[in-house]
Chain A
Amino acid sequence: MPEGVSALGLVLGGDPTLYAIVRLSLQVSVSAVALAALVGLPLGAFLALVQFPGRTFLVVVVNAFMGLPPVVVGLAVYLLLSRSGPLGFLGILFTPKAMIIAQALLVIPIIAALTRQTIEDLWVEYRDELTAMRVGPFARVTTLLWDARFSLVTTLLAGFGRAAAEVGTVMIVGGNIDGFTRTMTTAIALETSKGDLPLAMGLGLVLITIIIVINALAWGVRRVGELHAG
């Protein structure tokens, strides 16, 4: 298998282009998950704890949006950010910023939907106690988010998995520009279509390895945290 051998060589040889691509991919996906968490965690907790007309509808929509097709999100963000679009004045189309926004939009429903489920389940357990302590609505949200923190790590990982693995949005709003907006997934798609299978394979291996390492780290953090906090 000569392709496999060259792929391994690329990775072990520390190819600078490869590292630039890996760095950008991580930077975009981690930023997107952080941004999505800022919106998705409170949104999920809000949906879990507050009763209002149309709540069920919103819960169904958020759940359904977990399966949003990346290319469609990419297209929507493209239209928003293109020169003639409503946010065209920002001039960020085909930049990493646009990629972060697009991926965050993709990840928000995942984080919000899983957070809602987790917080709703925990609320059943905590309701009486927090009511008796007369904990207000805002403090309830922060208390439940904090006490669910170990489960929410898995939620964030699900979001990261989605962001790191998708190719549709970053291809459309990033443009796969060499050295500027090329990520691992867009590079794999490009190299495969060019026929450079060793590079595509190398990138694929790196991507999978990174995802495993990040999950292992998160698992470790969770275990240590649980040991100290019960």
Chain B
Amino acid sequence: MRAAISDLPIRFEDVSVHAGAVTILDRISLDVTPGAPTVLIGPNGCGKTTLIRLGMGILTPSSGRITWGGRSGAPGEQRAMVFQRPVMLRRTASANVAYALEAAGAARPERTARVDELMQRVGLEGRAERPARRLSGGEQQRLALARALARNPEILFLDEPTASLDPASTKAVEDIVRSIAASGVKIVMATHDIGQARRLAGNIVFLVRGRVAEHALAERFFTSPATPEAATFVRGDLVI
């Protein structure tokens, strides 16, 4: 069902974002290519969320250019996103997924089967008829993943999907993310959890104060970081 034209690679060319006098992203140039998950890491406020939003296409840069598969202003049908604090619609868990399917243009007859399939995929089949807002934090995050998958995306953006979850819920979310990546969906994820980056990343984009300090394959980044900031971060020391 995927459109023939790919949104990959996503190319950032000299992209800056300013909010008033504050520079959030400072002349970023970056290629996000097909393959294993791209993980954005860096301290809070380094611009991870802003970069994710730009990639998703729900934010326009102050200057510079972003292209998706060579096209600027690609419509975004093939991209989906899970926010750090996803908004649960005031209806049941399965109705949330059905809503996303409808928004993605799925025909009514196929929706019921797809809802069941997606709920199973994120391990929420037993929670289908619960009000979404009554689910636990981890369950809400998994429901948000199911909603994002309903769009049948080529690229899935995740903004700190486990930021406030306990280890068990974090593992559940990571397992799902891994299986999504294995099914051929390009994952672009922001996290400040270096352990999570080690577990999931194919390549690492290390951001410090709105600039790309380093972009490298995960093994390279963790074994021989090229910049002093990255070395500090990999050691587990605080990068400010």
Listed in ascending order, the chain A residues whose CB lies under 8 Å from chain B are 125-126, 128-129, 131-135, 139, 143, 146-147, 149-150, 228-230
- Determine whether the beta carbon of B58 is less than 8 Å from that of A230: no
What B residues does A131 contact at CB under 8 A?
58
Listed in ascending order, the chain B residues whose CB lies under 8 Å from chain A are 56, 58, 76-77, 80-81, 83, 86-92, 99-100, 103-104, 131-134, 147, 151
Number of A-B residue pairs having CB atoms within 8 Å of each other in the complex:
46
What B residues does A135 contact at CB under 8 A?
103
**Docked pose: A182 CA to B77 CA in angstroms:** 59
What B residues does A150 contact at CB under 8 A?
90
- Determine whether the beta carbon of B86 is less than 8 Å from that of A129: yes
**Docked pose: A101 CA to B134 CA in angstroms:** 42
Closest B residue by C-beta to A131: B58
- Determine whether the beta carbon of B86 is less than 8 Å from that of A230: no
**Docked pose: A132 CA to B58 CA in angstroms:** 7
- Determine whether the beta carbon of B134 is less than 8 Å from that of A230: yes
**Docked pose: A74 CA to B224 CA in angstroms:** 81
Among the listed B58, B91, B103, which residue makes an inter-chain contact with A229, where contact means beta carbons less than 8 Å apart?
Answer: B91
Closest A residue by C-beta to B134: A230
**Docked pose: A223 CA to B103 CA in angstroms:** 29
What A residues does B100 contact at CB under 8 A?
133
What A residues does B56 contact at CB under 8 A?
132
- Determine whether the beta carbon of A133 is less than 8 Å from that of B87: no
What B residues does A125 contact at CB under 8 A?
87
B129 to chain A, nearest CB (A): 10
A34 to chain B, nearest CB (A): 23
What A residues does B58 contact at CB under 8 A?
128, 131-132
**Docked pose: A190 CA to B98 CA in angstroms:** 56
| Interchain residue pairs A-B with the least CB separation, the first 3 | A230-B131, A230-B133, A129-B87
**Docked pose: A143 CA to B96 CA in angstroms:** 11
- Determine whether the beta carbon of B90 is less than 8 Å from that of A229: yes
- Determine whether the beta carbon of B88 is less than 8 Å from that of A128: no
Closest B residue by C-beta to A135: B103
What B residues does A128 contact at CB under 8 A?
58, 83, 87
Identify which of B76, B90, B92 gathers the most chain A CB atoms within 10 Å of its CB: B90
Known: A147-B91, A229-B91, A230-B133. 19 other contacts (CB 8 A): A125-B87, A128-B83, A128-B87, A129-B86, A131-B58, A132-B56, A132-B58, A132-B83, A133-B100, A134-B77, A134-B104, A143-B89, A150-B90, A228-B131, A229-B131, A230-B88, A230-B90, A230-B131, A230-B134
Pick 16 A–B contacts, CB within 8 A, sort by A.
A126-B87, A129-B83, A132-B81, A133-B100, A133-B103, A133-B104, A133-B151, A134-B103, A139-B103, A146-B91, A149-B90, A229-B90, A229-B92, A229-B131, A230-B131, A230-B134
